Amino acid sequence: MRLTQSGLGGTSSDTPKYLAGAILLSFYLGVLVLGQGASQAQQEDAQVQEDPIRVDVNLVMLRFTVKDAQQQFANTLAEKDFRVLEEGVPREVVLFEAPKSSGRKPTRLWLAFLLDVSGSTFATRAEEIIAAQTFLDNVHNFTQVGVFGFTDKLIQFQDFTDHRDMAGKAFQAARRHLGRTAIYDSAEDLIASLNKKAAADDGRVLIIVSDGMDDEYTKSDRTAALARSGKITIYTILVPSAATLYIGPSPSSANAVDEDADEKKLAFGRLSQATGGKHFSGLETILDFDSTLAQINDDIFGNLYTIGYYSDRVLQEKELGKIRIDVGVPGMQASDPFKQIPDLLQVKRKFIAALFDSQANAEMPGYANRDFNEIGAEIDILKSKREGASGVGLPFRIKISPFTLSRGKKGGVRAQLGIIGQLVDSAGNEVVRLREFFRASLSAKEIQAGRGIIYSNKLFAPPGEYHLRLVLLEIPSWKIVVFERPVLITSR
């Protein structure tokens, strides 16, 4: 495989090999397809033939708070007090849940985020930042929020403050740092600081986001005991390790490494279990980080309304901002909602599982009736060519626009990307699959000068007619673009 930056003076480099693991990230849109009806051949007892019926619906779930003119939570509104609009068009509410809290005046709360910035979890950072902004919009005014990170020591990005914008900016500053992972030492330092600041009757919560890969994981029980003595509730969110994603254990040491990693993950989860909090892990958690923080927010404050409605079309990511909640009570306003559209997450999960399945046997979903076009990219299928004993190769290249990838503060792109390729024969059998990860880096000046990103590779198969499916994914936003088309491989 060759990766080049197109433009004057393009470069090429080798890329990491296949790897195992599961991956994070972010929430996306959903479609639940309900199909019914199949025509049958005429039979002796003539039956009425039914035309195929297909109903496409998007189930959209919104979780949000409502505040009055005095910025106090209003938790006693009814379904009739709300109206949901999608691009200005009212939608019928099919699900409604009132907040768990009765609206009582909350006690003062000290809430600390502790983010693993050791470098091993860089693939999750963008999703954390996006979800945190909505989380902060839905906390009560009595909350003091602090944002901290850790490598081998505790790092302060923002000391405790009641200014939501300052806390939000701190997440932007929580970038990758060098150093080993020291969860428990850093958590104990933060616990000590929190106990000094909080009054005896104040609530105290610590949210830790990490891959759990601390060599000193036997300290977990001691750290949990310190948290309990300070009446601190810990929530733990386990995200994948970049070392696992991009390197992976060697076959000879895979069992030992996996056993050690499992012990570390269990120790990390015990922090929450021992302090009355909750532990979040698995592909669903990291794929929909927004929903994870919504659950934590609701568990802590209990102020979230839940509204569900069906959209009559497949929404795109850019259209999520056009969903609005109107409150029909004067002086009251809904917050920016947590958005979850779970059905399409099922499809996206399958693509991601296929990408990270080291045995290359995970199912790749068919996608003939939907379009993923979340990344600007074009594909060129080149002429097939016989290459000695290795068979016939089908070369292709994908030209990727940097403008649709996640951009840094200075306007440049440092992207981690994954590619899945699959050839299926006329009988529907998979003939060959490509799985690969690569990175691309472009400065703002290079982007302005017209440089882009080109990925090139080839799939080997015997001559014949095939269906080609290629999926390009950006880590960690999990934006996806899918290419599907028939291809002909000839021996000439």
Give the containing element (helix H, strand E) for 148: strand 143-150
Check whether 229 has a pLDDT greater than 70: yes
Tokens of 331: 């002086």
Q: What angle do CA 22, 23, 27 make, to 5 degrees?
A: 135
- Tell me the C-alpha distance between 439 and 414, whole Å: 7
The mean pLDDT value for 109-114 works out to 95
Tokens of 304: 């979230």
pLDDT of residue 245: 47
Cβ neighbours for 303, distance < 8 A, ≥ 6 positions apart: 65, 73, 75, 99, 101, 138, 140
**Domain extent listing, the chain:** 2-18+360-489, 58-344
Check whether 42 has a pLDDT greater than 70: no
pLDDT-wise least confident of 30-34, 152-156, 403-407: 30-34
Tell me the pLDDT band of 55, cut-offs 50, 70 and 90. very low
More reliable by pLDDT, 467 or 28? 467
- Amino acid present at 194: L
pLDDT of residue 17: 27
pLDDT-wise least confident of 45-59, 179-193, 423-437, 448-462: 45-59
Tell me the pLDDT band of 14, cut-offs 50, 70 and 90. very low
Tokens of 417: 């990307």
The mean pLDDT value for 310-323 works out to 72
pLDDT of residue 231: 95
**Chain-centre distance of CA 450, in angstroms?**
29
pLDDT of residue 346: 66
Check whether 48 has a pLDDT greater than 90: no
Output the CA torsion sign for 152, 154, 157, 163. positive
Tell me the pLDDT band of 121, cut-offs 50, 70 and 90. low
Q: Provide the mean pLDDT of the chain.
A: 77
The CATH number of 58-344 is which of 3.50.50.60, 3.40.50.410, 3.40.50.1220, 3.40.50.720? 3.40.50.410
pLDDT of residue 46: 35
pLDDT of residue 31: 25
- Tell me the C-alpha distance between 83 and 90, whole Å: 7
DSSP label at 402?
G
More reliable by pLDDT, 52 or 306? 306
pLDDT-wise least confident of 121-125, 206-210, 395-399, 412-416: 121-125
Which superfamily is assigned to 2-18+360-489 in CATH?
Immunoglobulins (2.60.40.10)
pLDDT of residue 26: 23
Tell me the pLDDT tens digit for each residue of 242-263.
544 443 333 333 344 446 888 9
Tell me the pLDDT tens digit for each residue of 364-407.
766 544 567 888 899 999 888 776 665 688 899 999 999 888 77
Hey, how many other C-beta atoms are within 10 angstroms of the C-beta on 396?
Answer: 20
Q: How much of the chain, in percent, has pLDDT values that exceed 70?
A: 72
Cβ neighbours for 313, distance < 8 A, ≥ 6 positions apart: 56, 58
Cβ neighbours for 184, distance < 8 A, ≥ 6 positions apart: 214, 216, 217, 219, 220, 222, 223
